[in-house]
Amino acid sequence: MVVRTFIATLALLAAGQSAVALAAAEPPSLVAMRVGGKAGAIDDPNAAHWAKAQALKIVMQAQSVVAPQNLEPSVAELSVRAAHNGQWIAFLIEWADPTKSDRIVVDRFGDQVAVELPVNYEKDAPPNVMMGQPDGGRVTIMQWRAAFQRDLDEGEQSIEDLYPFTHVDIYPDEVLRASDARAYMGSVGVDNPIGHPKRVPVLDQMAEGWGTLTVKPEQNASGKGVWQDGRWRVLIARPMATDNNEYDPRLAPGDQTVAAFAVWEGGNAEVGGRKAWSDWVDLAIGK
């Protein structure tokens, strides 16, 4: 009996050591590796340094909290890497998507992915991961859109491109003064930032609770997305610090914070609240 007990104890110790070794082998958090090279934005999703950055698998959840819900999201997992050069921090996000959705028309939506960071981070009291909350829980959300990427890569699409069988005799802006034609110009007419010409495929936004998502007055985020062989590879980057501490996080080498992610598959009619999302993930910024 003593021998059996001793053997069982050894087995438990061995199992415990194996579990510890396994836990140690798994990355406990997302680590933003420091990279060299040119100063300024990290904007190449195929740069050689990404092969050295450790990928973290992030399990996505169904958005079942607020309407409109998405109880069966298409994307179950993201692979995320992070890097910084002392001035900019970047996230390389990859996921499987057999349908490249980069055209938005009445009944079709585009693929999207977003990174969320707290503006002011407190380890014991992070903001609500569901887009923050009022009274100090503001978050910044950088959202890459496949439709923006297509416009930048191939040129903006006209009405005829999107709706080939459309016939138009005349457009209001061809016969009216600009001030009078604004009523017929949709989002552009009401100065919606989404309708503005794009220089990057990423929207730099902020929120402090459900229904408060707002495009920032100053757009600092950058990025690029590439779809190949049924898989998206998207880079989203932003300055580690800006002059606006009210809207932007202030990060530095050696900092600890958190990040969260959301993804939309346009081919599954995912848009707005119909998305998959992750909880906060610890983010360590390498020195």
Measured distance CA(131)–CA(63) in Å, rounded:
12
Evaluate whether residue 273 is within a structural domain.
yes
Evaluate whether residue 185 is within a structural domain.
no
Measured distance CA(221)–CA(81) in Å, rounded:
17
Please count the other Cβ atoms lying within 10 Å of the Cβ belonging to residue 17. Answer: 10
Over residues 189-239, the pLDDT tens digits come to 777 777 777 899 999 999 999 899 999 989 999 999 999 999 999 999 999
Say what the pTM is. Answer: 0.85
Average pLDDT score, the chain: 87
Measured distance CA(114)–CA(120) in Å, rounded:
19
Measured distance CA(95)–CA(263) in Å, rounded:
9
Over residues 110-151, the pLDDT tens digits come to 999 999 999 999 999 999 999 999 988 999 999 999 999 999
Measured distance CA(248)–CA(234) in Å, rounded:
21
Evaluate whether residue 132 is within a structural domain.
yes
Evaluate whether residue 203 is within a structural domain.
yes
Measured distance CA(139)–CA(134) in Å, rounded:
10
CA 109 vs CA 61, 181, 212, 287: distances in Å: 20, 27, 22, 40
Over residues 235-276, the pLDDT tens digits come to 999 999 999 888 999 999 999 999 999 999 999 999 999 999
Is residue 275 within 8 A of residue 63, CB to CB? The reply is yes
Task: Report the length, in residues, of the chain.
Answer: 287
User: 6: which 2 tokens?
Assistant: 């001793």
Q: What is the DSSP letter of 183?
A: G
Evaluate whether residue 145 is within a structural domain.
yes
Evaluate whether residue 222 is within a structural domain.
yes
CA 140 to chain centre: 11
Measured distance CA(4)–CA(14) in Å, rounded:
15
Structural domains of the chain, count? 1
What is the CATH classification number for the domain harbouring 245? 2.60.40.1190
Q: What is the DSSP letter of 137?
A: B
Evaluate whether residue 171 is within a structural domain.
no
Q: Is the dihedral of CA 171, 176, 178, 179 positive or negative?
A: negative
Evaluate whether residue 190 is within a structural domain.
no
Number of alpha carbons in the 13 Å side-chain half-sphere of residue 52: 10
Domain that holds residue 53: 29-156+197-285
